[in-house]
Structure 1
Amino acid sequence: MHQKEFPPCEEENKEHQKDCRPTETPLTASIDMGLINEPEVHLLEEVDQTVLSNRILVLSRRNKIRSALEYFRSMELSGLCPTIHACNSLISSLLRNGRFDDCLKVFDFTRRRKITTGHTYSLMLTGLANAQGFHSALKSFKESGSEHDIEKIFDAVVYNTMISICGKFHEWIEIERIWRSMKVKGCAPSQVTYHLLVSSFVRCGQVELALDAYFEMVQNGFEPRTGTMDAIISACAKEGKWDAALGVFQKMVIEGLHPNLVACNALINSLGKAGKLKLAFQAHDVMKSFGHKPDAYTFNALLSALNKANRHFDSLQLFEKIEENELCQLNVHVYNTVLASCSKLGLWDRALQIIYQMEARLSAVTVSYNLVIRACERARKPKIALQVYTRMVHQKCKPDVFTYLSLIRCCIWGDLWQEVEEILKVATPNVSLYNTAVQGMCLRGKINLANKIYDKMRENGLQPDGKTRALMLQNLPKGAVVNR
């Protein structure tokens, strides 16, 4: 029962700076209560439990834990029992001051007196997790949960505390068990419970469980918080469940709620990947109506959506609009997306302009140069591709297999056979590179060179694929045998 606060003593009311302690005569007590930094014990002249409990309450709130412990110890030795409100406040103060061992003693006292509440357990579980780790808190929770009549004490607050603790350690299996357990034991989840369930499951990547918790919350008549709905949108979008994400988004709009920028971006990206270009741009317009300013993630999602729909010219136009109006701070992802558009269209000159801009503002990566080389390949510009490759190496950007594959294909179309050989010498031996080179040489009639590269391929222990072997067999002189 909540009691009216009582001023701890006259001295504190007068001076405000003194540590308030009992003014009664100290006892020479030999009884050890087991508290850390054993407080003094006093003969209490005041025996009203309400008055003394209020003094403990006020002292605890002011973090005067030594005085509060003295009152607490004196009351116990006098056969008096502080109220649970005072005990909980004392436990909370002790936890704030890192006195966990003292908390355990106060907690044991409340259990012996059978005054423990759900709030008490919640405080202790949090303290136990901070002091001894997640597993100790979980063990204590399970042991306490098996006690007789504990259902009367374990309320939603206790379960919420344990769900929150498990969520911090990404223990989604334990979270699910706690959720099922509280329903089996007749403890109805609260709105806070569902919020914790959704956010924890989303953080752990368990989208199906997050959706189960969300729909159960709605079914039980709880109005989801904006943060909960944002989390659901982001989680569904990430897992490709664009229809579920869109449904929650539309519900929020109808109810006058504003999804945050992260949720909007996730939805736009998911719609774009699903080929729902019109819906993606509609979501973008709605997002702007909320007052959100589109960022690099937003525009990258829109550019990717246009590429997905094979509208590469539109993607380039949108990029130019972003640049011209400085709509956002461009990042590597945006540059690479628009370079992919150039690559598809074979716009090698535009790709060069973009990569130069990228170098001036950011550090271009291997993927960026690969896309430019790919644009050169489509445009049949092998010498330009080799220049990009040289610049790439000069910029200390390491080429990969895709770099060399594009270069080899480019050089084959341009009859740059010496360059093909040089590339194979520089690159780490790779079966795809040799297959591409041999096949290109055979198709272009360079049989002698194909034989030379094929032999080199076998020397490196690489196994040709079926197409390479078939082409070599077709072009062998009569009576010759291909080494297996």
Structure 2
Amino acid sequence: METNSSDVDASYKEEKDDSVTRDDRSELSDGSSSRIDVRALAMNLQPVKTVADVEEVLKDFGDLPLPVYSSVIRGFGKDKKLDSAFTLVEWLRVKRDSGGSLEGPNLYIYNSLLGVIKQSGQYELVDKVMKDMATDSIVPNVVTYNTLMAIYIEQGLAKKALDVLAEIQDKGLVPSAVSYSTALLAYRRLEDGEGALRLFVERREEYQKGELTKDPGEDWENEIVKLETFAVRICYQAKKWWAALEVYEDLLDKGPKPNNLSYELIVSHFNILLTAARKKGIWRWGVRLLNKMQDKGLKPGSREWNAVLVACSKASETSAAVQIFRRMVEEGEKPTIVSYGALLSALEKGKMYDEALRVWEHMCKVGIKPNLYAYTILVSVYIGQGQQEKVDEVIREMVSCGVEPTVVTFNAIISGCAKKSMGSAAFEWFHRMKVQNITPNEITYEMLIEALANDAKPRLAYEMYLRAYNEGLRLSAKAYDAVIQSARYYGASIDTTVLGPRPLELRKKTQTRKILSKFCELADVPRRDKPFDAKELYPS
């Protein structure tokens, strides 16, 4: 690209932020018919060590326009040639002081030099540049201060960067969009969501009053949306979920209209909270978050609905899971295999076996392909009904569909047998599992021992405990006690010394309050809230 000197001067005057760059391959006019290859000139000047070296390179060029030197210095920044940049600036000062026609370094030269310092990371030289500017009676502009803010942030001095923003305003200068976005970056480093929110709200109010339209070079309508997106992201990172939501709501009410990225960020905030509720099984909060989304005009997708469904299933809240699934369908969201899996699990836990089978049939009818988890729930349903022959059919179907049963599948079957005191059936499934080269784990043995002990098979329960012990597995105190108590009850003679010491009792994870407190801390909501109303499950 070629530009003449008037083009350079026009662009030179604008320089609205520290990120302004020009094509280093540009050829700039020196005021005559000749053209200057700035990139080549910068390459020739890179090795310079002294003012004399610069003079040697430039002796045949005459007095070039200052924008040429500014462009060269910015080029040095890309290659981190800070010494070359300082040497060139010093040469300009020498030429000025010698009484030649060439002006010394001006504001734009010094701003370019600060940019090189920022890129090279040698921040200790900032004070020298600022002193040189003062010596040359050059008053910093907004670009200067923007660069200083960015340098302070790079140094981990975010608070000092915010002080610079205040200094810009104190000196009567008008901060640019870059000033505010850099300040937001400082708030992000400080994890100060409230500070970021405050800065954005103030800028938005100024925009609405028409106070941010003084500079024709700034597209404030677009810049406000960018600041809003950044502020929302900072609130998200600082876990100020509701503050971010308030920003979004205000933009809907007062403008400018939030962009798609803001919408996606807000939805992602809810996803974080819903995922936390799902993992911790705090289903009531999941329902409330879902309702909150809809209240604010945000459309939950399958991911959000599934998070609440899984939370309900984890908490064995069958009725709640059914209601949420129904709402999901009525809202036009197509259930996925995860949706059906969570609903099936909730129905199985609630011993609503017939309903679970109807859901299964419907799922297959609408073309949802079952996965391992869904098949595992199905075998649990059939075991719960006492239909062992159906369990056989499911296992065969799984294999024919390329879904291989795992230890989890067999554990579900053996666990179901244990609940119904079907010791012989449990042992048969244990044997089949070994035949299929599926290695049993602690849960397998514990469920098997429970089934055998409850089905008047104390000797076999004892042998299974010994086998697990010899395989290096460490079973729970519950399994140990089941063996001892079954042997005593049925009068079986066993050698308890070979069982090893009784395992330590593991504390039950009944830390509901602690879990809820952690969630409330994450979600930035009060620990004590209004009692859950059943109407929240299905608001009209």
Partner of 1:87 in structure 2? 112
2:282 aligned with 1:282, yes or no? no
Cα separation, 2, equivalents of 1:39 and 1:387: 94
Cα separation, 2, equivalents of 1:89 and 1:337: 65
Cα separation, 1, equivalents of 2:379 and 2:34: 75
Partner of 2:147 in structure 1? 120
Cα separation, 1, equivalents of 2:113 and 2:361: 62
Whether the 8 Å contact between 1:236 and 1:244 is mirrored in structure 2 is no
Cα separation, 1, equivalents of 2:349 and 2:132: 67
Whether the 8 Å contact between 2:149 and 2:164 is mirrored in structure 1 is no
Cα separation, 2, equivalents of 1:15 and 1:313: 86
Cα separation, 2, equivalents of 1:317 and 1:160: 54
Whether the 8 Å contact between 1:199 and 1:210 is mirrored in structure 2 is yes
- CA distance 1:367–1:74, change in 2 (3 Å): same
Cα separation, 2, equivalents of 1:24 and 1:380: 89
Aligned match for 1:9, one of 18, 23, 28 = 28
2:455 aligned with 1:435, yes or no? no
Whether the 8 Å contact between 1:346 and 1:378 is mirrored in structure 2 is no
* Distance apart, 1:387 and its partner CA: 2.2
Matches within 5 A, 1:211-230: 211-215=242-246, 218=249, 225-230=262-267
Report the AA paired with residue 303 of structure 2.
Answer: V
Partner of 2:269 in structure 1? 232
Whether the 8 Å contact between 1:234 and 1:267 is mirrored in structure 2 is no
Report the AA paired with residue 120 of structure 2.
Answer: F
Aligned match for 1:175, one of 176, 182, 191 = 191
Partner of 2:58 in structure 1? 42
Matches within 5 A, 1:210-359: 210-215=241-246, 218=249, 225-238=262-275, 239=277, 240=282, 241-251=285-295, 254=297, 258-270=299-311, 275-286=320-331, 288=333, 294-307=335-348, 310-323=351-364, 325-328=366-369, 330-358=370-398
* Distance apart, 1:196 and its partner CA: 1.2
* Distance apart, 1:110 and its partner CA: 7.0
Secondary structure in 1 matching 2:41: coil
Q: CA RMSD in A?
A: 5.1
* Distance apart, 1:141 and its partner CA: 2.4
Report the AA paired with residue 336 of structure 1.
Answer: T
- CA distance 1:215–1:184, change in 2 (3 Å): closer
Report the AA paired with residue 306 of structure 2.
Answer: N
Runs (5+) with no aligned partner, structure 2 = 1-12, 17-21, 93-103, 134-139, 170-174, 205-226, 470-474, 506-540
Whether the 8 Å contact between 1:88 and 1:119 is mirrored in structure 2 is no
* Distance apart, 1:435 and its partner CA: 1.7
Whether the 8 Å contact between 1:68 and 1:90 is mirrored in structure 2 is no
Partner of 2:514 in structure 1? none
Whether the 8 Å contact between 1:46 and 1:52 is mirrored in structure 2 is no
Cα separation, 1, equivalents of 2:45 and 2:419: 96
Cα separation, 2, equivalents of 1:370 and 1:28: 75
Cα separation, 2, equivalents of 1:458 and 1:119: 76
Secondary structure in 2 matching 1:175: coil
* Distance apart, 1:20 and its partner CA: 4.0
* Distance apart, 1:106 and its partner CA: 8.2
Structure with the larger RCO, 1 or 2 (CA within 8 Å, 6+ apart): 2
* Distance apart, 1:53 and its partner CA: 4.5
TM-score, structure 1 normalization: 0.64
Report the AA paired with residue 50 of structure 2.
Answer: S
Aligned match for 1:383, one of 392, 412, 424 = 424
* Distance apart, 1:426 and its partner CA: 0.9
1:289-325 CA distance string (max 9 Å, x none) = xxxx644333323333444555333333333443455
Partner of 2:50 in structure 1? 30
Aligned length: 413
Runs (5+) with no aligned partner, structure 1 = 129-136, 167-173, 466-484
* Distance apart, 1:389 and its partner CA: 0.8
Report the AA paired with residue 14 of structure 2.
Answer: H
Partner of 1:470 in structure 2? none
- CA distance 1:416–1:458, change in 2 (3 Å): closer
Partner of 2:120 in structure 1? 100
Report the AA paired with residue 440 of structure 1.
Answer: S
Partner of 2:41 in structure 1? 21
Cα separation, 2, equivalents of 1:388 and 1:25: 81
Cα separation, 1, equivalents of 2:289 and 2:87: 57
Cα separation, 1, equivalents of 2:125 and 2:504: 75
- CA distance 1:264–1:188, change in 2 (3 Å): farther
Aligned match for 2:185, one of 147, 161, 169 = 161
- CA distance 1:323–1:250, change in 2 (3 Å): same
Whether the 8 Å contact between 1:340 and 1:371 is mirrored in structure 2 is yes
2:449 aligned with 1:408, yes or no? yes
- CA distance 1:159–1:277, change in 2 (3 Å): farther
- CA distance 1:387–1:21, change in 2 (3 Å): same
Secondary structure in 1 matching 2:14: coil
Cα separation, 2, equivalents of 1:349 and 1:72: 86
- CA distance 1:8–1:308, change in 2 (3 Å): farther
1:379-428 CA distance string (max 9 Å, x none) = 55433321211232344444344323332343345444442232122122
Cα separation, 2, equivalents of 1:410 and 1:22: 83
| Identity in percent | 14
Partner of 2:461 in structure 1? 420
- CA distance 1:103–1:244, change in 2 (3 Å): farther
TM-score, structure 2 normalization: 0.59
Report the AA paired with residue 286 of structure 2.
Answer: W
* Distance apart, 1:347 and its partner CA: 3.7
Cα separation, 2, equivalents of 1:244 and 1:111: 58
Secondary structure in 2 matching 1:462: coil
Whether the 8 Å contact between 2:114 and 2:147 is mirrored in structure 1 is no
